[in-house]
């Protein structure tokens, strides 16, 4: 067999960082060896802090390994990073687009930087613009593009010349399913047409499924490597789907399964049922008791299942002290509320920015204690709707009430009813964990013993012990999010607003996050959440799908799936979503965002 030399060979690489504030050394990468075959697609997967980005940056010659050798395209990167950089392309997580320059100007700029000749540009541009569907937007400033379009432009800029190796660092974080699918089509096409070698890091396991080879990293170490099939093998004959009784939301069963770490490795809601992985040595009786008569069928293992098995071998999911969760939190209005009471009412809501209609005449209502999901592609109007509900943005017209008030005009006191967690970490980074909690506690009128008591409770509830004096801005990602949740729940609000809380987080953290959300809803907190992860819609009681400002679907996840493909739809949530949005775009092809996906 005539195999080309590997495009990248790493042997026994180490990388350590000194954390200035603490004086401690962190082992970001420990003894990693791997090979990337020329002309193939290879994935680095792993939870946050696994060392994926560090590894890619070293391969791009932006960082030197402390020990070990790293050969890229036959060149020692440490010795001659420039020679490597001349032949590879690297797309960092946040690609450096110039927001005020147009799509075309951004492309020109990167072509100039890489010295692409005029003759080559013409043909290259035509091809890239066609693949990214950006041809119609060449005059639009990059800052005005939606998140998905920006990411596609970033990829196009990275590909203005033909690199011999393409390094992609989490290219699909924060991108909706439609744009995600398109991004992968572009990458795949480049591999097929130009025999491009690609090394991609990702937190989405379904993306890694399409790669020739997968390296699973965990806390800087190599946990496993192989084809997706090899990784799937780990969960062989352990995967099942359990369908609970009709009147029971699947997330209740899912939470119960997940809490029994002794029997169950992983459980997620899926298509109105619960998909779970059992442990090898599980006690059948105990499992039966857990399932409580739910219908069970064995299913094929997926890459994600294998990955979860691998991770669980490392350490168990932090067992959640659900008792603390449930006793700690009593939404103030709970006593007089019953579950049929409407807590959020939206009628004919419209929001315009100039002549652009971001939210177009939508109506829905949310009942107390519901988990309500707002879904839609980038730029569909979810965030605008969300901000209007929180009172951060005035509506152009329409009726809007949260817990009996329009928060935009209501007296400040009405805002005590809501908690808000924004997409980006939005607490004071220089202030310590305790200082942030104290400040926001007082903002909600808590003081003295009551404040101390509440802070103690949320610290336990969100596992923040031991971090009291750390500056919040320097906490690891997971802690930041838990702190943001703790702050939002300090005053026991009736409604909790969460804007894309799981964007860019790994499956493990998403499980933990949803376990907490499920527990919160059990005790009567209403939750409004936006998300890009369609499978997360399965945790919701009801969802809406928005696109181009319009409301396309509203109902339980099952109802929405049925809307896409009739009753007993075989589609999963992501397929249903793509089908619903796609259909709507086809029907009225001139919606402001419809152009995005059409060639």
Partner 1 sequence: MFDFLHRIASLCRKELLAIFKDPANRVILVFPSLIESFLFGYAATYDLTNVPYALLDQNRGAISTELIARLDGTVIFHRVATLQTQSDIARVIESGDALLVIQIGPRFEEQLNAGESAPVQLILDARNSNTAGSAVGYISAVVDSFNVARVSMVSGAGPPLIIETRAWYNPNLETRWNLLPGLIASLSMIQALMLAALSVARERENGTFDQLLVTPYSPIEIMIGKAIPTIMIGLMQSTIVLMVALFWFKIPMAGSLVTLYIGLTLFTMASVGLGLSISAVSANMQQAMLYTFLLIMPLILLSGLATPVRNMPQILQIVTLANPLRFAIDLVQRVYLEGVGLLTVIHDVIPLLIISGITLPLAAWLFRNRLL
Binding-site ranges for partner 1 (CB under 8 A): 387, 390-392, 407, 412-416, 418, 420, 422, 424-431, 435, 438-440, 442-445, 447, 471, 487
CA–CA dist 334, 338 (Å, integer): 8
Q: Of 405 and 575, which CB lies nearer to partner 1 in the complex structure? A: 405
Dihedral angle sign, alpha carbons of residues 506, 512, 515, 520:
negative
**DSSP state, residue 5:** P
**DSSP state, residue 341:** S
CA–CA dist 518, 311 (Å, integer): 23
Residue 431 beta carbon to partner 1: minimum distance, rounded to whole angstroms: 6
Residue 463 beta carbon to partner 1: minimum distance, rounded to whole angstroms: 21
Q: What is the 3-state secondary structure (H, E, C) of 245-284?
A: CCCCCHHHHHHHHHHCCCCEEEEEEECCEEEEEECCCCCH
- Helix pair 147-158, 118-132: axis angle to 10 deg: 150
Confirm if 392 and 351 have CB atoms less than 8 A apart.
Answer: no
Q: How many angstroms separate the Cα of 65 from the Cα of each of 60, 164, 325?
A: 11, 22, 44
Q: Of 107 and 402, which CB lies nearer to partner 1 in the complex structure? A: 402
Residue 366 beta carbon to partner 1: minimum distance, rounded to whole angstroms: 17
Q: Of 204 and 440, which CB lies nearer to partner 1 in the complex structure? A: 440
Q: Of 224 and 451, which CB lies nearer to partner 1 in the complex structure? A: 451
CA–CA dist 386, 256 (Å, integer): 31
CA–CA dist 519, 27 (Å, integer): 35
Residue 457 beta carbon to partner 1: minimum distance, rounded to whole angstroms: 19
Q: Of 163 and 381, which CB lies nearer to partner 1 in the complex structure? A: 381
Residue 94 beta carbon to partner 1: minimum distance, rounded to whole angstroms: 16
Q: Of 297 and 447, which CB lies nearer to partner 1 in the complex structure? A: 447
What value, to the nearest 5°, has the Cα angle with vertex 497 and ends 494 and 501? Answer: 135
Q: Of 172 and 422, which CB lies nearer to partner 1 in the complex structure? A: 422
Contacts of 11 (CB under 8 A, 6+ apart): 33, 68, 69, 70
Q: Which stretches does DSSP call E strand in 37-140?
A: 41-45, 67-72, 75-76, 88-91
Token pair of 486, please? 């703790």
Q: Of 133 and 387, which CB lies nearer to partner 1 in the complex structure? A: 387
Residue 494 beta carbon to partner 1: minimum distance, rounded to whole angstroms: 14
CA–CA dist 397, 348 (Å, integer): 8
């Amino acid at each position: 067999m005539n195999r080309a030399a590997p495009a990248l060979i790493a042997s026994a690489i180490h990388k350590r960082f000194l954390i200035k504030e603490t004086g401690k050394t962190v082992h970001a990468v420990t003894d990693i060896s791997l090979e990337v075959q020329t002309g193939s697609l290879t994935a680095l997967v792993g939870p946050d802090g696994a060392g994926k980005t560090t590894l890619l940056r070293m391969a791009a010659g932006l960082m030197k390994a402390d020990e070990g050798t790293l050969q890229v395209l036959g060149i020692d990167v440490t010795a001659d990073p420039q020679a490597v950089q001349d032949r590879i392309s690297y797309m960092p997580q946040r690609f450096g687009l110039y927001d005020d320059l147009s799509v075309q100007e951004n492309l020109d700029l990167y072509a100039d930087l890489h010295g692409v000749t005029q003759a080559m540009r013409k043909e290259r541009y035509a091809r890239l613009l066609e693949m990214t569907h950006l041809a119609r937007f060449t005059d639009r400033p990059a800052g005005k593009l939606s998140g998905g379009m920006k990411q596609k432009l970033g990829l196009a800029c990275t590909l203005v010349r033909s690199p011999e190796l393409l390094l992609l660092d989490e290219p699909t974080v924060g991108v909706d399913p439609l744009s995600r699918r398109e991004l992968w089509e572009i990458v795949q096409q480049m591999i097929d047409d130009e025999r491009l070698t690609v090394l991609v890091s990702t937190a989405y396991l379904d993306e890694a499924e399409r790669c020739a080879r997968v390296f699973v990293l965990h806390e800087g170490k190599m946990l496993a490597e192989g084809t997706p099939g090899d990784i799937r093998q780990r969960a062989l004959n352990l995967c099942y789907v359990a369908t609970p009784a009709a009147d029971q939301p699947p997330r209740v069963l899912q939470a119960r399964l997940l809490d029994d770490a002794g029997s169950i490795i992983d459980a997620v809601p899926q298509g109105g049922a619960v998909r779970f992985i059992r442990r090898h040595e599980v006690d059948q009786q105990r499992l039966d008791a857990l399932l409580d008569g739910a219908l069970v069928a064995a299913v094929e293992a997926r890459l994600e299942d294998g990955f979860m098995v691998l991770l669980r071998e490392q350490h168990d999911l932090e067992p959640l002290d659900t008792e603390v969760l449930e006793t700690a939190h009593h939404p103030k209005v709970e006593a007089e509320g019953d579950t049929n009471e409407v807590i959020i009412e939206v009628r004919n809501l419209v929001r315009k920015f100039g002549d652009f209609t971001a939210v177009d005449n939508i109506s829905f209502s949310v009942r107390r204690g519901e988990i309500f999901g707002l879904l839609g592609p980038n730029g569909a109007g979810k965030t605008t709707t969300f901000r209007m509900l929180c009172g951060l943005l005035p509506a152009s017209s329409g009726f809007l009430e949260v817990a009996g008030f329009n928060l935009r005009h209501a007296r400040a006191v009405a805002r005590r009813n809501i908690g808000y967690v924004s997409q980006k970490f939005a607490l004071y980074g220089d202030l310590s964990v305790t200082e942030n909690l104290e400040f926001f506690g007082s903002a909600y009128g808590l003081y003295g013993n009551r404040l101390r008591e509440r802070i103690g409770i949320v610290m336990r509830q969100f596992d923040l012990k031991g971090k009291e004096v750390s500056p919040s801005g320097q906490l690891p990602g997971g802690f930041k999010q838990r702190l943001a949740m703790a702050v939002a729940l300090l005053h026991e609000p009736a409604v909790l607003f969460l804007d894309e809380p799981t964007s860019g987080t790994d499956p493990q953290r998403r499980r933990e996050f949803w376990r907490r959300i499920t527990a919160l809803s059990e005790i009567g907190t209403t939750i409004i959440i936006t998300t890009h992860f369609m499978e997360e819609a399965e945790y919701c009681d009801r969802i809406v799908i928005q696109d181009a400002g319009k409301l396309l679907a509203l109902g339980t996840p099952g109802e929405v799936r049925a809307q896409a493909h009739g009753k007993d739809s075989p589609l999963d949530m992501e397929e249903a979503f793509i089908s619903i949005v796609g259909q709507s775009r086809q029907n009225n092809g001139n919606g402001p965002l419809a152009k995005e996906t059409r060639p």
